[in-house]
Structure 1
C-alpha cells in the first residue's frame, strides 16, 4: 500500500510541530498527550507524521473518516505493523473483524453479535454490581491502595473472563497476554524488540489457549460466549475456527484492557476535579452519563488509522486510493469547535436529552463502532455509583502517577489512592 500522500503541502518544516509530533508519538508523551495534540490542532487540520502518512486533528475531519466506508480499517496491519508478513498476520495479529471491511466485516460482526447481544450485557448487571461491591469494600477497608491493582484491572478482567468462559486459574496468564497485545498495537518501528517478541508470544499463546477451550466447549457447552460462538459455527454458518479464535481474543482485549484504562484515567480526572465528585454526590443519576464524559476526555484508544478506498479530499488534503491517514482521537475529542470548554470535566455534559453533546470518538463511529461499548459504560457507571455511596472522600496521592508507554491504547500503570469511608 502507498502510505505517502500526493499532496506535499503537509510537509512540516515547523520545529514546534515536529516537537509536538515527537511527543505525541513517543512514550515521553504518555503523561500528557493532549498538550502536543492541542498544538497540532491549533496549527492546522492536517500534518505529515514521521510514520509516512498525515494526521488529522479536528473533530469534523476525524468523524468524517471514521463514519464512512470510503475509508478502510483493513490496512492497519500494513500501516502500523510492517514487521509482520501478511501470511503470519492471522497468528501474529489476531484482530477478527476489527480490521475488516464489508462484506467480510458485515458477515463476521453479524455472527458475533448473536453471542454479544444487549440482553447478554443486561444479564451481566447483577454480577457486575456484586463484584464491584466486593472490590470497593476491599479498597475502603485498605484506606490507601493502588486503584489500578484493586479495581481498574480486576473488575473488567473478571467480567471479561466470566463472559467468555476463561476459568479463574488462567486469569493471571490471560491478563499478561492482553497487556502485551495492547502494547503491541503501537507502530512496530516505535516498539523495542522485547515488546515485539512479547506481542508474538501473547498472540500465539492466546490462540493456543482459546483453541483448547473451544474444543472443551464443543464437547461440553457452558453458559458463556465461547460456547455460543462455537454453536454459531457448528450450525453451519461461516465463522471459521481462525475467525472464532481471533474474535475471542479481540473481545477479551477490548473488553478488559481498554475498560481498565477508562477506569484508571477516568477516576484520576475525577479525583483531580473534586467539584465533579461533589456533583455526582448531589445528583447520583449522573453516574449514568459521566462515563461518556470521562472517555471523551481520556479515550482509551488515542489513535487509529484508515486508508482511502477511493480518491477523496479531507481537511483540504487530497488522498489517492490506498493513501493512509492517522485519526487523532485524543485531539478530536477536545476540539473547541465542537465541545464547549473541552478541557474541563463536566459529568453532566451528556445528561441533557434536549441539548446533547456531540458524540465523542472514543468508541469510533460507523461500522467500526465498538461492539463492547455498552458493557464498558455499564461497568464504569456501576463503579461510580458504588464509590459515591460507600465513600465520603476519595483522593489521589501523587501528582505524577506513572503511565504505561503505550501510544495507541493509553492507560495508567498505577494510581495511589486514599478513600475515606462514608
Structure 2
C-alpha cells in the first residue's frame, strides 16, 4: 500500500515546538510503515507498555485482519496537528482508506505519544486504525457472492455452471453380478462411457472405492433415477457446486476449481472472497478467474463488545461473472473422449479455415467434479494423483511425441 502526507502543521496551540516536531516525525514514520505494511517497524515505534499489552504477532494479525475485512488496497495519511508538552504529545491525523469493494473512506483520528529514554513512542490502541473501533468495537464483513459465469461450447451448450446437480457412481464390490450388464447399459445411456468401458473401469477399481460415472443436473437425471436406484451398488448424491456436465467434457481445457491456497489467501480476502471459497486453479477456470468470478459485494459493520451492530460502515453490491463461449464442439469432444477407451493418447481437432480448436482430448481424462470434495469420495481425487497413467497430465498440450 502507498501512503503520503503533505502540508500538515507540526504544532498547534501552546507547547514545545521542538518536541512537537520530533513527536510528529515519529508518528509520520509509523504511518509510512503502515502504508508499506511494515508491521515490525510499526511495532518498534510503540511504547514499552503498549508492547507489553500486545505481541508483535497479535499486532500484525490485527492490521492484516483489518485490511482483509475492509478489502483494503492502499491508504493515504496526513498529520493535521501535533501538540507536545514535556513527556506527552497529542497528534491528530487523517486516514483515507482506498478499498477494492467500497468507495474511499476517510476518517480523522488521534494518537498519543510518550517520551521514553530512547525517544518518543506511540501509545497504541485500536482507534488508531479507525476511530469507530474505540471502546472495544470491531469490524464484521458480511460477504455477498456473485454468480460465477458459465462456460459454453461453440453452439451454446453448457460445459460448466453452478447448478443443483446429482453425482452418480457405483461401489464395485456392491454390484450384483446378475445386475451388472443392465446397470452398465443404463449408465452408458447417460454418460460418456460404453458398457464395455464401464465394465473395465469397475473391474480395475477396488471393491470398496466409490467410482464416479456421471454428474447430471437434477432435471436431466430425473427420468433415470427410479430405474438406477433399483440396482445394488449405485450411489446418488445431491450437490450444488461448480458442475461439469457429463463428468467432464474437455476437462483438461476447462480445468477445475480448488480452495484458495494459503499463500494467496490474503489477496483474495481483500477482494471480498470468503475463506471457504474455491477459485479457478487450472485451465480456463484459472485463466479467466477474474472474468468468471465477477466482483464480490458485501457490507462492513461496526460491532460493539456485546455483539450488537453499532453502524454500517460501508456496503457494495456484487456484480455477476461473465460467461465464456469456447470454440469447442461438445458432441465431437465427448465422442472422441469415449472412443479412446483405455488408451494413453491425445487428439486435437482444429478447423482448417479459422484455426479454431474444436476438440482437445487427453486420455485418460478425469472428472473435474472430483475436486469438489463435498460431492464425491476423497479417494477418487487421491487416485488421480497416484494413478501411473497420470489422468491429470495434459497429453494434448504437454506431451512430447517423436
Please give the TM-score of this superposition, normalised by the length of structure 2.
0.24
Work out which of the two has the higher radius of gyration on C-alpha atoms and give 1 or 2.
2
Which one has a larger percent helix, Structure 1 or Structure 2?
Answer: 1
Which one has a larger percent strand, Structure 1 or Structure 2?
Answer: 2
**Structure of greater relative contact order (alpha carbons < 8 Å, 6+ residues apart):** 1
Please give the TM-score of this superposition, normalised by the length of structure 1.
0.23
